[in-house]
């Protein structure tokens, strides 16, 4: 299998070079490995996290190897990575589902470089990341807190070597994009089942207005939906949005026959922006001039107490309270 060399350079004012402390080196290796894996899954399935055992093509595409560590001031980690077109050959033999699939000559590091570029640019409409991937990139702040200025990934997307940078500005951009991403919403979406891809649990439906939406079946096998191909279906699941508010994908729980389902369901609900309310932010101290204290004893009418009691028909009676040893008065409002 063709192997491509990638250098990942860590710069630090401490000048670790090839004599790097084990703790930050371990963080760097773990963070880079997870970032590559999530970026590759995002590129092929439109999601960066999945449950269950990884499929064979995914493990092969993400099989990166550390082969050397060198440097005088900066620390350079040398990796080898397979070309995606060779590692995931079965996917490239199929008809393309959506245009985010990377070119076959790219590696996982090239895919990661594209993610870093869009995050660094603050692109709210990118298809290259979702909230879990953004949150992982934000965790690179731990590596930067260990004494590093930046992590630079060598990539070859244009045919010549270049570098994608992950620094504090990238981490902050990832946090902002994550915070501005609307939460997923439960939806029912009707449309034409346009494509099914068993190898990635993916599908696409075309809405009544012609817009095509990608989706991933999160439970069961998408192979069972094959009998509904080119027919109207109803998808039950959750709509996942980009920071811009546009739909990113559908996380489907099930796909069923949608014959006769109204066109009302063939549209994506607008996302709900904003963070959850913190109840503590609603608390306000009570004083003599605020809250309930501001209205006590200030009935706005000019009725007498007798007139008010008559208006609301108050009835009272008295009884003995054995627990406290005293008479109590009950008031009934009719």
Tens of pLDDT, residue by residue over 267-287, are 999 998 765 555 666 666 777
Q: Parse the chain into domains and list their residue ranges.
A: 3-180, 185-265, 289-333
pLDDT of 334 > 50? The answer is: no
Exposure letters 176-211 (e unless 16+ CB within 10 A, then b) = bbbebbbebeebebbbbbbbbbebbbbbbbbbeeee
Rg (CA), the chain: 30
pLDDT of residue 132: 96
Q: Which residue is listed with tokens 């981490």?
A: 171
Average pLDDT over residues 192-211: 90
pLDDT of residue 297: 66
How confident is residue 161, by pLDDT bands cut at 50, 70 and 90?
confident
* 163 or 201: which leads in pLDDT: 163
Exposure letters 50-88 (e unless 16+ CB within 10 A, then b) = beeeebebbebbbebeeeebebeebbbbebebbbbbbbb
pLDDT of residue 220: 81
* Rounded-to-integer distance, Cα 156 and Cα 158, Å: 6
Cα dist from 177 to 32, 46, 129, 132, whole Å: 20, 17, 10, 11
Architecture of the domain defined by 185-265: Beta Barrel (2.40)
pLDDT of 23 > 50? The answer is: yes
Average pLDDT over residues 194-210: 89
Question: Do strands 247-257 and 212-217 pair parallel, antiparallel, or not at all (unpaired)?
Answer: parallel
pLDDT of residue 333: 44
pLDDT of 215 > 80? The answer is: yes
Q: What is the mean pLDDT of the chain?
A: 85
pLDDT of 332 > 50? The answer is: no
Contact (CB, 8 A) for 134 and 174: yes
Average pLDDT over residues 19-23: 85
Q: Dihedrals φ, ψ of 95, to 5°?
A: -60, 135
- 326: exposed, middle or buried (Cβ count in 10 Å: 0-12, 13-18, 19+): exposed
pLDDT of residue 10: 93
pLDDT of 1 > 70? The answer is: no
**Residue 214 has which token pair?**
């990608």
* 329 or 221: which leads in pLDDT: 221
Tens of pLDDT, residue by residue over 69-109, are 998 889 999 999 999 999 999 888 876 655 568 999 999 99
Tens of pLDDT, residue by residue over 235-270, are 999 999 999 999 999 999 999 999 999 999 999 999
Percentage of the chain with pLDDT > 90? 56
Neighbouring-strand partners of residue 150:
11, 167
* Rounded-to-integer distance, Cα 105 and Cα 21, Å: 34
pLDDT of 124 > 80? The answer is: yes
pLDDT of residue 331: 46
* 298 or 65: which leads in pLDDT: 65
Percentage of the chain with pLDDT > 70? 83
pLDDT of residue 126: 95
* 262 or 292: which leads in pLDDT: 262
Helix extents (H) in the chain: 22-45, 56-61, 84-87, 89-92, 108-120, 131-138, 141-145, 168-180, 305-312
Average pLDDT over residues 51-66: 90
* 333 or 203: which leads in pLDDT: 203
């Amino acid at each position: 299998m063709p192997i491509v060399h990638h250098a990942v350079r860590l710069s630090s004012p401490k000048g670790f070079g090839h004599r790097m402390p084990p703790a930050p080196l371990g963080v760097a290796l773990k963070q880079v490995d997870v970032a590559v894996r999530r970026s590759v899954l995002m590129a092929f399935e439109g999601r960066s996290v999945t449950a269950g055992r990884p499929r064979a093509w995914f493990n092969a595409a993400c099989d990166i190897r550390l082969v050397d560590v060198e440097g005088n001031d900066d620390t350079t980690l040398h990796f080898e990575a397979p070309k995606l077109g060779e590692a995931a050959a079965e996917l490239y033999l199929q008809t393309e589902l959506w245009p985010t699939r990377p070119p076959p000559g790219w590696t996982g590091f090239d895919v990661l470089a594209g993610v870093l570029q869009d995050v660094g640019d603050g692109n709210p409409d990118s298809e290259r990341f979702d909230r879990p991937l953004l949150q992982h990139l934000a965790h690179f702040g731990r590596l930067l807190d260990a004494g590093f200025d930046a992590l630079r990934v060598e990539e070859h997307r244009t045919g010549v070597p270049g570098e994608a940078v992950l620094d504090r500005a990238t981490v902050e951009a990832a946090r902002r994009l994550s915070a501005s991403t609307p939460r997923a919403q439960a939806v029912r979406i009707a449309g034409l089942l346009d494509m099914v891809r068993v190898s990635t649990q993916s599908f696409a439906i075309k809405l009544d207005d012609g817009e095509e939406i990608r989706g991933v079946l999160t439970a069961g096998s998408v192979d069972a939906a094959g009998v509904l191909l080119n027919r109207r279906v109803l998808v039950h699941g959750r709509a996942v949005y980009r920071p811009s508010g546009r739909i990113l994908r559908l996380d489907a729980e099930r796909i069923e026959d949608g014959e006769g389902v109204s066109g009302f369901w063939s549209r994506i609900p607008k996302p709900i922006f904003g963070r959850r309310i913190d109840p503590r932010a609603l608390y306000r101290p009570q004083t003599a001039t605020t809250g309930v204290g501001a209205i006590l004893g200030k009935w706005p009418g000019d009725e007498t107490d007798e007139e008010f009691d008559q208006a609301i028909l108050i009835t009272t009676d008295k009884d003995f309270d054995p627990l406290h040893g005293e008479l109590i008065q009950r008031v009934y409002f009719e």
